[in-house]
């Protein structure tokens, strides 16, 4: 097995903004952070090498001088320096037009987070997942009115299968050759615990929903 993909560098930043004024955001405002980061990296969509962790996307009420935090992960051997990130992000926030959500913030700090890069030898045993931002995951077999994972339905085998294909996409992105395998071997899983709630996330022209909460299963 080619283990090169396990050695791709991962750099994680904690980004801390400060509110310029009192405001009320919509629930799950991670989409606004995504838009901000698209401006920061000058590309849309961001791509497989940039991941966001909108840790505060369930909070809505903020006051002047409150801090707003989110995580930014860059995968690959060419992370952006903190100095460059600070300069670029501060410039975007300063130039944001009134009414744009970016105009509500100023930059407080960006710091690098230590990452312990440990990869388990296998995924056997219990696995617990927590979805803090809504997961919008299509079912393998869609039914009328039931197209996505929801509070009553979570398919762990299909979830792991999609993770496998994401790894394949990530390998291709970094020109890493993996063994050709059309169908991954996913062990049978038993769902041990499911505590999910469906939420609707409003956007400009439509409402996009997903599940938050936790699930535990074994394989």
Residues of the domain holding 31? 4-113
pLDDT given at position 72: 94
pLDDT given at position 6: 73
Whether residue 69 is found in the same domain as residue 34: yes
How many structural domains is the chain composed of?
2
Q: What is the pTM of this model?
A: 0.81
- Rounded to whole angstroms, the Cα distance separating 28 from 55 reads 10
- Rounded to whole angstroms, the Cα distance separating 49 from 7 reads 14
Whether residue 35 is found in the same domain as residue 81: yes
Residues of the chain with pLDDT under 70: 1-3, 99, 116-124, 180-182, 203-204
Whether residue 94 is found in the same domain as residue 138: no
Whether residue 51 is found in the same domain as residue 146: no
Whether residue 103 is found in the same domain as residue 21: yes
pLDDT given at position 139: 94
CA distances from 142 to 138, 147, 149, 206, 212 (A): 8, 5, 10, 21, 20
């Amino acid at each position: 097995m080619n283990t090169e993909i396990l050695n791709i560098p991962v750099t994680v930043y904690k980004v801390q903004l400060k509110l310029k004024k009192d405001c009320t955001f919509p629930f799950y405002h991670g989409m606004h952070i995504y838009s901000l980061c698209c401006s920061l990296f000058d590309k849309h969509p961001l791509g497989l090498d940039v991941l966001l962790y909108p840790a505060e996307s369930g909070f809505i009420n903020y006051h002047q001088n409150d801090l707003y935090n989110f995580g930014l992960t860059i995968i690959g051997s060419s992370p952006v320096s903190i100095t460059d990130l600070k300069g670029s992000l501060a410039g975007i926030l300063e130039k944001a037009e009134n009414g744009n959500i970016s105009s509500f913030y100023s930059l407080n700090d960006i710091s690098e987070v230590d990452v312990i890069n440990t990869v388990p030898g296998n995924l056997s045993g219990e696995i617990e997942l927590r979805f803090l931002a809504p997961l919008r995951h299509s079912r393998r077999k869609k039914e009328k009115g039931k197209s996505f994972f929801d509070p009553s339905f979570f398919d762990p085998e299909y979830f792991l299968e999609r993770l496998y294909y994401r790894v394949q996409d990530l390998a291709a992105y970094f020109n890493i050759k993996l063994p050709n395998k059309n169908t991954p071997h996913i062990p049978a899983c038993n769902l041990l615990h499911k505590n999910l709630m469906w939420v609707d996330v409003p956007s400009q022209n439509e409402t996009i929903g997903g599940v938050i909460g936790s699930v535990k299963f074994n394989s």
